[in-house]
Amino acid sequence: MTKVDVIIVGQGIAGSALAVELDRIGKRVLVVDDGRVGSSSIVAGGYYHPLSFRALRMAWKAKQLISFAESFYSELEILLEKNFLNRHRLTRVFSTVEEQNNWAVKSELLDYENVLIDEPPVWLECSKVNARYGSGQVKLAGRLEVVKYLDAVSNWIRNKHEMRQGRVELSDVLVDDKKVKWQDVEASYCILCNGHQFVKTQPFSYLKDNLTKGEMLEIRSEDLGVKSILNAGVTVFPTGQDLYRVSATYDPRDLSATITEKAASILMEKLLSIGEFSYEVVNQEYGIRPTIPDRKPIIGLHPSKSALGIFNGMGSKGVVIAPFFARQFVHHLYSGVPLDPEVSIARYSKWFDPEIHNN
């Protein structure tokens, strides 16, 4: 029998951060991933910034989450001797005069001092982007190269802990009050980091989801000329050799496991609304974001099977949410520190019926 402290199911952005934080306090993990089938992380652009553009205000816990995430990934870059986090300024192309005015006002406020710049980047002049209502920049922004990060963490887990490729069905996991057993492995906890599939997993099926499918395009353009992260309803990023990522759609209704023409035309329509340039679409991908109704993460131990836990609900901001709350969850598991009530699974205990959900 192999003994570890925690079995982690899924090695996306969530499972990776949890493995790193458990290692930090000396715990041993087994991570099992089914080969990133249906993984949202591998499709993610990896961008982060602190704003909700529509209302032009700070998003939930934005500065705190970003500051934590930047330190988390930077420290890991040193440990793993790989580079996957890059700070980039984000250029926002305004869609109305009101937005332009609002930006000018906000950028004078103390709270936005190190966040907003009320002027366009120099490169915009030489690009095909026509910022009719002007543009501004976000200083506190960047991009995690997600696949590079996941690959680096996966290699590190393989060397220092244990990594297996395969699918964990919770029906195959024996659970009692103090431990779990799966195949030849015994652990104190089994934590689900299985992305959008969490509500299909008994005994967590009492939770509700509000999944959103997202699609992205990769285009080639010789004359678009975007040099950093650009947000104009869609986010555009140059990946080199005239290639650009254009993302993303948000569709809560069509969760089909396929790319769609509808999403491709939505993305291109938004992009073409800011300028005329030549392009060819070279790739399209989709992913399902693990989103729950209140759009906050869902973290904690099962109400009656306390060796089973969940670390999920990263929604559209997994890059910055996962590191901060992985540390909080680990402190909760091993030092009894209470979870933030806004993310704790306890807020949904009203949906749990032991008669129905314990099998």
Ligand X SMILES: Cc1cc2nc3c(=O)[nH]c(=O)nc-3n(C[C@H](O)[C@H](O)[C@H](O)COP(=O)(O)OP(=O)(O)OC[C@H]3O[C@@H](n4cnc5c(N)ncnc54)[C@H](O)[C@@H]3O)c2cc1C
Provide the binding-site residues for ligand X, judged by CB under 6 A: 9-15, 32-34, 36-41, 43-48, 167-168, 193-197, 214-216, 247-248, 287, 289-290, 312, 314-319
Least Å distance between CB 322 and ligand X? Answer: 7
Question: Based on CB atoms, which residue is closest to ligand X, 137 or 194?
Answer: 194
What is the DSSP annotation of 249-276?
A: --BSS---SS--HHHHHHHHHHHHTT--
Closer of 46 and 300 to ligand X (Cβ) = 46
Q: How far is the CB of 185 from ligand X (least distance, A)?
A: 13
Q: Give the nearer residue to ligand X in terms of CB position, either 102 or 210.
A: 210
The length of the chain in residues reads: 359
CB of 35 or CB of 354, closer to ligand X: 35
Q: How far is the CB of 77 from ligand X (least distance, A)?
A: 17
Q: At 130, list the tokens.
A: 């026509």
A 10 A CB-CB count for 283 gives 12
To the nearest 10°, report the CA torsion of 120, 121, 125, 130: -50
CB of 118 to ligand X, least distance (A): 24
Nearer to ligand X, 130 or 295 (CB): 295
Strands in 180-182's sheet, in edge-to-edge order, are 2-3, 185-187, 180-182, 174-175
Q: What is the DSSP string of 40-67?
A: SGGG---EE-SEETTTTEEPTTHHHHHH
Four-CA torsion 260, 265, 319, 105, nearest 10 degrees: -160
Nearest-angstrom CA–CA distance, 188 and 184: 14
Nearer to ligand X, 195 or 309 (CB): 195
Of 167 and 262, the one with the shorter C-beta distance to ligand X is 167
CB of 133 vs ligand X, minimal distance in Å? 24
Q: How far is the CB of 286 from ligand X (least distance, A)?
A: 7
Q: Minimum CB separation from ligand X for residue 146, in Å?
A: 7
